[in-house]
Amino acid sequence: MRHITFVRPNLGTGPSADAMAPLVFAILRARTPDDIATTLIDERIEPFAPVATDLVAMTVETFTARRAYEIAAIYRARGIPVVMGGHHPSMCPDEALQHADCVVTGDAEGVWEDVVADARAGRLQRRYGHRPGTADPGPIRFDRSIFAGRRYGPITLVQVGRGCRFACDFCSIHAFYGTHRQQRPPDEVAAEIAALPRTPLIFFVDDNLFWRRDRFLALMAALKPLKRRWSCQITIDVARDDELLDAMAAAGCAMVLIGFESLDRANLKQMRKNWNGVSGDYADVIARLTRRGIMIYGTFVFGYDADRPDAFDAAAAFARSTGMAIANFNPLTPMPGTGLYARLAAEGRLLRPDWWIDPAYRYGDAIFAPRAMTAAELRDGPMRARAAFYALGSILARAAGGILGWRRPGSIAMMLAANFVSRREIRRKQARALSSGEPLPTLIEVKDAAT
């Protein structure tokens, strides 16, 4: 075996303006023997043009599963084996095995090496992997040479660890990692960042950067001398702690993504996130962050039982009035493997149980029957909230408000760029089919396809 192709399928067709480098392939490249060449095809930034290869490895999310199955078919028709890994195959391995020769569940570390060795020896197995935390995966390593010459946004992705200490019922991260958590030593992370080229922003991809107070403070201390600007995802409890916030601001934090989810306490309780608080607390948290020049990227989800049709406008108004730099308004999406999916299935409320492969499903459709509104209201309400939040007047008003709060001119430029990209992507994705449904191109025969 001389060549492996890594594929990152897209959602729908056309390039994505917000595509970031798929870090998983830097992990796989780092664990692929040097004598095997690799090619990355990322459909979000380039048209799909498959090259001849010996093995295909795809990372599959639930939203890209249908497209991944389409792409796998072209390779398998030529006798080229296809390996699928990532969240969706981990949650639905039997389904993925209908479209792939091999499925990897859980993390790639400690497993990918076996897949490559077996493929080389012509004895590829149908299943590999384990639940995260049940085996020592060894250190997390990256080989970013796989991204050389590619046109991703000017943001460097870094991963400190995996897992989250909470258990929100809709969360696919919790479904994947359970109670397992893992974090790299702060000095190792700082050394990696110091060796990376400078970009306007570093984004820590961890779903919750905060695990333990002592580790978090040690990470902030290690980041501070680097003088880089960065953003991360944290839970709201961090933003209630002045010492942690001061450490973040001093270490270069420019923006935090916080899942506010709902302004209704009953909804927060139902999603097992009642520790989040309610809008009065939210306003206090937002003020604490803004005082330190840290921008807020807030996310909201709709469709829990207490949500009525006015929930969308209320959330959009709240996000605007509190000066959030960016916000997401999404219909609740039951992902396979989550507690939410199991509950809605048990209640007989799933309108499209296999929505990710249902050809009639369109991005943004309601997947289940909400209690206090219609399915059409659940589909249309988030778009209304997005339209209000990303209206030109709203963007300019929030940017003007941010001049005093965020202070740095770079923050305003970053906020404006992110808002205009979001405006475009929202329109591109809504009501899209999850795959093209068109015939795929045939393989391009090349002698030396290499990274």
Q: Which is nearer to ligand SF4, 59 or 235 (CB)?
A: 235
Among positions 277-336, residues that touch ligand SF4 (CB under 6 A) are none
Q: Which is nearer to ligand SF4, 86 or 259 (CB)?
A: 259
The DSSP result for 247-309, as a single string, is: HHHHTTEEEEEEEEE-S-HHHHHHTT-GGG--HHHHHHHHHHHHHTT-EEEEEEEE-STT--T
Among positions 144-163, residues that touch ligand SF4 (CB under 6 A) are none
Among positions 197-256, residues that touch ligand SF4 (CB under 6 A) are 207-208, 235
Among positions 257-286, residues that touch ligand SF4 (CB under 6 A) are 259
Q: Is the dihedral of CA 71, 361, 59, 154 positive or negative?
A: positive
Binding mask 108-147 for ligand SF4 (x = CB under 6 A): ----------------------------------------
The DSSP result for 161-200, as a single string, is: EE--S---TT-HHHHHHTT--EE--HHHHHHHHHHSPP-S
CA 283 centroid distance within chain: 26
How many chain residues bind ligand SF4 (CB under 6 A)?
11
Q: Which is nearer to ligand SF4, 147 or 297 (CB)?
A: 297
In the bound complex, what is the minimum distance in angstroms from residue 171's beta carbon to ligand SF4? 3
* CA–CA separation, 56 and 168 (whole Å): 34
Query: Which residue, 374, 313, 311, 301, is CA-closest to 340?
Result: 301
Residue 392's CB is within 10 A of a number of other CB atoms, namely 10
The single residue among 45, 168, 201, 251 that binds ligand SF4, judged by CB under 6 A, is: 168
Q: Which is nearer to ligand SF4, 115 or 168 (CB)?
A: 168
In the bound complex, what is the minimum distance in angstroms from residue 177's beta carbon to ligand SF4? 9
Q: Which is nearer to ligand SF4, 55 or 285 (CB)?
A: 285
The single residue among 19, 71, 102, 164 that binds ligand SF4, judged by CB under 6 A, is: 164
The single residue among 152, 166, 363, 420 that binds ligand SF4, judged by CB under 6 A, is: 166
Q: Which is nearer to ligand SF4, 112 or 211 (CB)?
A: 211
Say whether residue 24 binds ligand SF4 (CB under 6 A). no
In the bound complex, what is the minimum distance in angstroms from residue 168's beta carbon to ligand SF4? 3
Q: What is the dihedral of CA 379, 380, 382, 384, to 10 degrees?
A: 180
The single residue among 1, 17, 51, 167 that binds ligand SF4, judged by CB under 6 A, is: 167
C-beta of residue 87 within 8 angstroms of C-beta of residue 176: yes
**Helices and strands per DSSP (H, E), number in the chain:** 16, 14
Binding mask 178-197 for ligand SF4 (x = CB under 6 A): --------------------
In the bound complex, what is the minimum distance in angstroms from residue 360's beta carbon to ligand SF4? 29
In the bound complex, what is the minimum distance in angstroms from residue 300's beta carbon to ligand SF4? 12
Q: Residue 83, class by beta-carbon neighbours within 10 Å (0-12 exposed, 13-18 middle, 19+ buried)?
A: buried
Q: Which is nearer to ligand SF4, 146 or 171 (CB)?
A: 171
Q: Which is nearer to ligand SF4, 109 or 207 (CB)?
A: 207
List of residues 6+ apart from 118 with CB closer than 8 A: 124, 125
- DSSP category for residue 245: H
C-beta of residue 301 within 8 angstroms of C-beta of residue 421: no
Residues near ligand SF4 (CB under 6 A): 164, 166-168, 171, 173-174, 207-208, 235, 259
